[in-house]
Copies of this chain bind each other. A is one copy, B any other.
Amino acid sequence: MVISMYVDDRQPERIKTSEDLGKLVRKFRQSQKMTQMDILGLANTGNRFIVELEQGKPTLQLQKVLDVLDLLGLEVIIQKKGSL
């Protein structure tokens, strides 16, 4: 029996800084009711990386970030500014 259902229809979000990204990842992870450790299992990374990602560390390595986003079921789109 389904008690409640979470439909995450959050709007696509514009990411300008690593902080923006961190906040988004955290919000999304929580909306999926996942723990950081859940993610560690999937990605080949230590706890430190996830913590730093969610904290918005600016120097994280690009591909690792892309990998985690992908694992979370998120996709990255790049477009001209102001494209509707």
Q: Are A83 and B17 in contact (CB under 8 A)?
A: no
B-chain residues with CB within 8 Å of residue A70 when the two chains form the complex: 16
Answer whether residue A41 sits at the interface, using C-beta atoms and an 8 A cutoff. Answer: no
Complex CA gap A40/B13 in Å reads 28
Copies of this chain in the oligomer: 2
34-84 of chain A: CB within 8 A of chain B: 57-63, 65-66, 69-70, 73-81, 83
A75 to chain B, nearest CB (A): 5
Complex CA gap A80/B13 in Å reads 10
B-chain residues with CB within 8 Å of residue A10 when the two chains form the complex: 80
Report A's interface with B, CB cutoff 8 A: 8, 10-18, 21, 24, 57-63, 65-66, 69-70, 73-81, 83
